[in-house]
Amino acid sequence: MKKIIKILFLKILMLSCSTTEVKPPNVIIIISDDQGYADVGFHGSKEIFTPNIDRIAKNGVVFSEGYVSYAVCSPSRAGLITGRYQNRFGYTRNILLAPKDSLMGLPLSEQTLPDVLNNVNYKTKAIGKWHLGAHESLVPEKRGFDEFFGFIIGGHRYFPEDLTLNDLTEARKQMDGYITKIYDNGKRIETKKYLTEELSDNAVKFIQDNTENPFFLYLSYNAPHTPLQATKKDLERNMHIDIEKRRTYAAMVSSMDDGIGLILDKLDEKKLTDNTIVIFFSDNGGVEWYNFSDNGPLRGIKGDFFEGGIRVPFVMQWPNKIKAGTRYDKPIIALDIFQTVSVAASAEKYILNDIDGIDLLPYLTGQNSGSPHEYLFWKNPDKDIDVARDERYKYIRIKDDEFIFDLKNDISEEINIISSSKSIYQRLKSQFKEWEKDMIGPVFMDLGMGKEYNKINPDRWFNSSQEIQK
């Protein structure tokens, strides 16, 4: 009898050990483009409806002070994918489309998040907007991703009939990248659907095909970045919005939200939800005057380093680890995604460079108290802008003008308290100067420097015998 009991005990023990084996989480990072801070339901929008993005918020955590590391698209993505301030490697400009220039994009010295995850057998795919270099050495498949479906440049037209160029060998000007056919694992393909729908469908298929192994999906929507183009069905459900361009913008958000819903539904169907990290945020603030987004109470827009340019809608779910309905009110930054995911995947030992982000999970579970970051920093050398903030206060210098804002009581940055806050001013400025010592200036030309670049690089395009245009 004792022998039987002993055998049963050992079997139970073995079963217990096997069932407690921790499977690495799947990871999905979803990025919208130029979306306004106020244009999500979880920030109170009564005009633009985002039920599926709100599902992520409801099932996980809302970061009320979620930041990106730069106020425009390409540098923001460079920070995200490396976990490092892009100023460390001189990436502070939106890149030119220069498919023959190996230096126009993310430096090869920088390790990417998929580079790290490849060490622990993740299946990795980038879908949508890349915007980190068009040279053959800089495309997603050469920067850690197993697969890529999308477009290389910083924007794209949405309807398939507009895509008249086969590939970048036919490009003769910057905006030609907007009309190239979609890139699918080394081939240009004919698409049939609205761009956002194509990206969403491809994401769902990737999940369907990779249910047995951990995966990393980097889904970078073009929406609601210009051009303002929407389908009839999406426009029709936003007819309550009187301003036509605002209605089109809302319709573009609706399509993206639908796609996110399909992704969440597929996770549910495959019983992957509980052990999948899903993160959603915008790459920078909205361009209110141009794409008719709304940054709500925040001052400034995309390109600014007031809150409207860098504070964005930011949510995350991981049901196995993060309590549903959490709100986190301390500053975090997109740089944190690199470290958070690496630790979650047990891959942090493979990180080669010094990382500026931190693992957020201990703060979200209550294991760690206090603020994840003592200070956050931003610097735009071209516009002569310096920014530093702590948990409460923000210092910003724009050329000869300096400000101190109490963000806990003045989210709109209306009241400059610098005259009554000399000690805060000195501390934040001093911290910024110390951080700045490790940063470098821009290493490539900006999007607006096309004519100058063409003079220096007369063979910019693959067929340089044709006239080069801006």
**Residue 149 CA: distances (Å) to CA of 60, 129, 155, 358, 395:** 28, 9, 14, 29, 40
- For residues 308 and 337, give the distance between their C-alpha atoms in angstroms, rounded to a whole number: 21
At 11, the pLDDT band (50, 70, 90 cuts) reads low
Q: Which long-range contacts (CB under 8 A, 24 or more apart) does 54-59 make?
A: 55/260, 55/261, 55/264, 56/260, 56/264, 56/278, 56/280, 56/315, 56/316, 56/317, 57/315, 58/324, 58/325, 59/273, 59/317, 59/319, 59/324
Distance set, CA 234 to CA 54, 115, 230, 253, 255 (Å): 18, 37, 7, 9, 7
Instruction: Give the pLDDT confidence score for residue 466 in this predicted structure.
Output: 46
The SS3 assignment for 247 reads: helix
Q: Does pLDDT of 17 surpass 50? A: no
Q: Could you give the angle at the alpha carbon of 69 between the alpha carbons of 298 and 147, nearest 5°?
A: 120
246-264 mean pLDDT: 98
* One-letter identity of residue 286: G
Tell me which amino acid residue 25 is.
P
Contact 128, 220 (CB under 8 A): yes
40-75 confidence digits (pLDDT tens): 999 999 999 999 999 999 999 999 999 999 999 999
Does 397 score more than 90 pLDDT?
Answer: yes
Question: Domain extents for the chain?
Answer: 25-364, 382-436
pLDDT higher than 50, residue 157: yes
Residue 335 and residue 342 in contact, taking contact as beta carbons nearer than 8 Å: no
CB 417 within 8 A of CB 406: yes
Residue 267 confidence (pLDDT):
98
Q: What confidence score (pLDDT) does residue 468 get? A: 37
CA-closest candidate to residue 282, choices 309, 312, 245, 305 = 312
Residue 20 pLDDT > 60, yes or no? no
Give the percent of the chain with pLDDT over 70: 94
- What SS3 state is found at 98? coil
String of DSSP letters for 322-386: S-TTEEE-S-EETTHHHHHHHHHTT-GGG--SPP-----HHHHTTSS-S-S-S-EEEEETTTTEE
Can you give the pLDDT at residue 467?
Answer: 43
Number of other CB atoms surrounding residue 404 within 10 Å = 20
Predicted confidence at residue 3, as pLDDT, reads 52
Name the pLDDT band for 327 (thresholds 50, 70, 90): very high
**pLDDT given at position 22:** 78
- Quick check: helix, strand or coil at residue 55? helix
Q: Whole-angstrom distance between the N-terminal and C-terminal Cα of the chain?
A: 87
Q: Copy the structure tokens of residue 408.
A: 């806990």
Q: What is the mean pLDDT of the chain?
A: 94
Tens digit of each residue's pLDDT (9 = 90 or more) over 409-445? 999 999 999 999 999 999 999 999 999 999 999 999 9
How many angstroms separate the Cα of 17 from the Cα of each of 7, 8, 12, 66, 461? 15, 14, 9, 38, 59
Amino acid at 83: G
Query: Which residue numbers are catalytic?
Result: 73, 131
Using one digit for the tens of pLDDT, what is the confidence trace for 70-96? 999 999 999 999 999 999 999 999 999
What average pLDDT does the segment 204-217 reach? 97
Average the pLDDT over 301-324 and give the result: 98
User: Which residue, among 254, 215, 35, has the nearest Cα to 127 in the 3D structure?
Assistant: 215
In angstroms, what CA-CA distances link 106 with 109, 152, 290, 403, 447?
8, 13, 28, 32, 15
CATH level 3 topology of 25-364: Alkaline Phosphatase, subunit A (3.40.720)
What CA–CA distances, in Å, run from 26 to 267, 313, 456?
A: 10, 22, 45
| 4 backbone dihedrals φ, ψ, rounded to 5° | -65, -45
Q: Which of the four pLDDT bands, split at 50, 70 and 90, describes residue 470?
A: very low
pLDDT grade for 153, boundaries at 50, 70 and 90: very high
Say what angle helices 51-59 and 244-269 make with each other, to 10 degrees.
Answer: 50
Q: Whole-model pTM above 0.85?
A: yes
Q: What pLDDT, on the 0 to 100 scale, is given for residue 469? A: 41
